Amino acid sequence: MLDIRNLKVSYGLTQVLRDVSFSVPEGKIVALLGGNGSGKTTMLNTLTGLVKPGGGSILFQGQECAGIDASDFVKRGVVQVPQGREVWASMSVDDNLELGAATRHDRAGIKTDLAEIYELFPKLKVHRRRNAGSLSGGEQQMVAIGRALMARPKCLLMDEPSAGLAPSIVADMVDTILALNKRGLTILLVEQNIGVAAAVAEYAHILQSGEIAFSAPAPGLVDNPAVLSSYLGR
Amino acid sequence: MMLSYILLSGVTTGALYALVALGIVIVNKATGVINFAQGELFMFSGFLAWALHVQFGIGYPLTLVLAIAGGFLLGVMTDRIAFQPLKNVDVVSLVLATVGIAFILRGVARVIWGGKGDYLTFPPITSPEPIMIGEIMIIPQQLAVLAGAVLIMALFWLFFRYTRAGKMMQATADNAKAATLVGIRTDRIYALAFGTGTAVAAAAAVLAAPLTLLYPDMGFSFFIKGFAAAVLGGLTSLPGAILGGLLVGIAEALAGGYIASSLMEVSGFVVIMLVLVIMPSGLLGARRLRRV
């Protein structure tokens, strides 16, 4: 569904991604792992139009997307749940979710989707009029995911959804990711938490200094000491 | 009686400052930049209205609408010329660019409308005869200014509370990256912010013109009062801008009425200094630093 071929990104003279190729098949969860500074976030930002690539191609459902605007990525169905959640802290949960549908104009559809998201995250419904900034980290993560879902994505790119959450909340997050995938959503998951990746993803790519250093089925990764020590520095 | 008259005129000019402050706050909220051309945009829109109303004989209501539309376009042009090309550069360049716009507008206004005497008079929309309500003498134009200002503020409140465009502006101001990620075209939002900010200034100018007369150098004085009001209100708060405007207007009227009329011009500076020293985040401002 999402095919990345020979993607190159530089910030000034610094090459952040060098010749990266991998794909995310339709209906699957693929994990992208790597330490700090390995280029994971740059990868997601390039795949959602925040960063323009210096070369290579991004094919989504066979269509070339390299270089198109962020809003066009959203319209085509590629939506990012950013690292650190980035909710609109001074706006209500309702407003946060409704603005997730900023590129849509079907009022009735937006309304049903909003109801569906409150079904998926009943906690949010209770707090729907509260400012998103006043919610807990786990609840803000739900807002961030719900907001992305309001765009009716076909492919969801999640940047470290487990970061900064308590272990019990991380377990809920794993369930949420699996539930979204079961509904047919294709997911590219960027993680530092290898346990989360192994629990949800089918396949994993390890990014190191802007290159794919290793690729393997995800469930086996936790038992692979060579991978852990050499690529993630643990 | 003296006091009530002073208060009324303070509230009236205060309402005008509040509108100028609203324009400053809207732009600052969305873009993080103080538009130093706000006063000149106000002045220019006023002259535009004068040309439409006095030179071309267009009726006052239509003049108001056209001036607001013209102000919106001027704001969008400011965005395209002074903000978009520089938004990734440092703040000082952005601020200087708005100062440059201010000088250009003042120069152009002098060329077009200068040399027609010191002040251009704008005919009042209401009868110039003062009316007495109880003991208070009121110039009807003051009531028109107040009513207009209240109407514009109400429209703004509705805009931010109920429209999608208003909410998109709020979201962009709150977190621009998140706004981009949901597909909001943030450069259009910035243009919209500059446009609406200037449209408010234009409305204020058309309301103010019959009371204050028009002259090419009027912009700076209104900018300083409006900026003082915005700073007093906290620079990012719309209700704060309105409250700030009224307080600056009343303070100025009291200083002029009871101390010396020469104090009226400096009252804005005094307010800015006091606020920055005593409560840097203003009355209703967010308790955090923003780029100014």
Say which range, A196-200, B27-31, B127-131, B200-204, has the weakest mean pLDDT: B127-131
Q: Which residue of A has its CA nearest to B182?
A: A100
pLDDT score for A230: 60
pLDDT score for B292: 41
Burial of residue B16 (CB within 10 Å: 0-12, 13-18, 19+) is: buried
Report CB contact under 8 Å: A95, B182: no
Cβ neighbours of residue B155 under 8 Å, at least 6 residues apart?
none
Q: Which residue of A has its CA nearest to B178?
A: A86
Confidence band of B277 (pLDDT split at 50, 70, 90):
confident
* pLDDT (tens digit per residue) in B82-126: 998 988 888 888 889 999 999 999 999 989 887 766 788 888 777
Cβ neighbours of residue B254 under 8 Å, at least 6 residues apart?
B6, B10
Task: Determine, yes or no, domain membership for B239.
Answer: no
B87: closest CA of chain A, how far (Å): 16
Q: What is the DSSP string of A162-199?
A: TTT--HHHHHHHHHHHHHHHHTT-EEEEEES-HHHHHH
Q: Which residue has the tokens 């009001």?
A: B229
Contact B191, B80 (CB under 8 A): yes
Report CB contact under 8 Å: B178, A87: yes
Report CB contact under 8 Å: A103, B183: yes
pLDDT exceeds 80 at position A233: no
A86: closest CA of chain B, how far (Å): 6
Q: Which residue of B has its CA nearest to A87?
A: B178
* pLDDT (tens digit per residue) in B236-272: 888 889 899 999 999 999 888 888 877 777 887 888 8
Helix H or strand E segment including A2: strand A2-11
DSSP E strand stretches across B72-169: 131-133, 136-138
Mean pLDDT of chain A: 90
DSSP code, position B257: I
Report CB contact under 8 Å: B182, A148: yes
Q: Spell out which residues of chain B touch residue A94, defining contact as CB-CB under 8 Å.
A: none
Task: Determine, yes or no, domain membership for B59.
Answer: yes
Is some CB atom of chain A closer than 8 A to the CB atom of B180? yes
Report CB contact under 8 Å: A87, B175: yes
**What is the separation of C-alpha A130 from the centre of its chain, rounded to a whole number of angstroms?**
25
Of the two residues A72 and B29, the one the predictor is more confident about is A72
pLDDT exceeds 70 at position A163: yes
Q: Which residue of A has its CA nearest to B177?
A: A86
pLDDT score for B227: 92
Tally of domains within chain B: 1
Segments forming the whole domain that contains residue B99: 2-218
Contact B266, B259 (CB under 8 A): no
Task: Determine, yes or no, domain membership for B282.
Answer: no
B157: closest CA of chain A, how far (Å): 15
* pLDDT (tens digit per residue) in B209-239: 888 888 888 888 899 999 999 988 888 888 8
Q: Spell out which residues of chain A touch residue B175, defining contact as CB-CB under 8 Å.
A: 86-89
Is some CB atom of chain A closer than 8 A to the CB atom of B117? no
SS3 for B187? helix
ipTM of the complex in this document:
0.90
Class of domain A2-88+153-232: alpha beta
pLDDT score for A75: 94
* pLDDT (tens digit per residue) in A193-206: 888 888 899 999 98
Report CB contact under 8 Å: A86, B178: yes
pLDDT score for A232: 59
pLDDT exceeds 70 at position A192: yes
Highest mean pLDDT among B5-9, B59-63, B128-132, B138-142: B59-63
Task: Determine, yes or no, domain membership for B226.
Answer: no
The sign of the torsion formed by the CA atoms of A60, A63, A67, A69 equals negative
Task: Determine, yes or no, domain membership for B158.
Answer: yes
Helix H or strand E segment including A207: strand A203-208
pLDDT score for B160: 85
Say which range, A48-62, A217-231, B14-28, has the weakest mean pLDDT: A217-231
Is some CB atom of chain A closer than 8 A to the CB atom of B178? yes
Nearest to A86 among B168, B175, B184 (CB): B175
* pLDDT (tens digit per residue) in A98-110: 999 999 999 999 9
Q: Spell out which residues of chain B touch residue A69, defining contact as CB-CB under 8 Å.
A: 185
Confidence band of B291 (pLDDT split at 50, 70, 90):
very low
The sign of the torsion formed by the CA atoms of B175, B180, B182, B184 equals positive
Is some CB atom of chain A closer than 8 A to the CB atom of B188? no
Task: Determine, yes or no, domain membership for B177.
Answer: yes
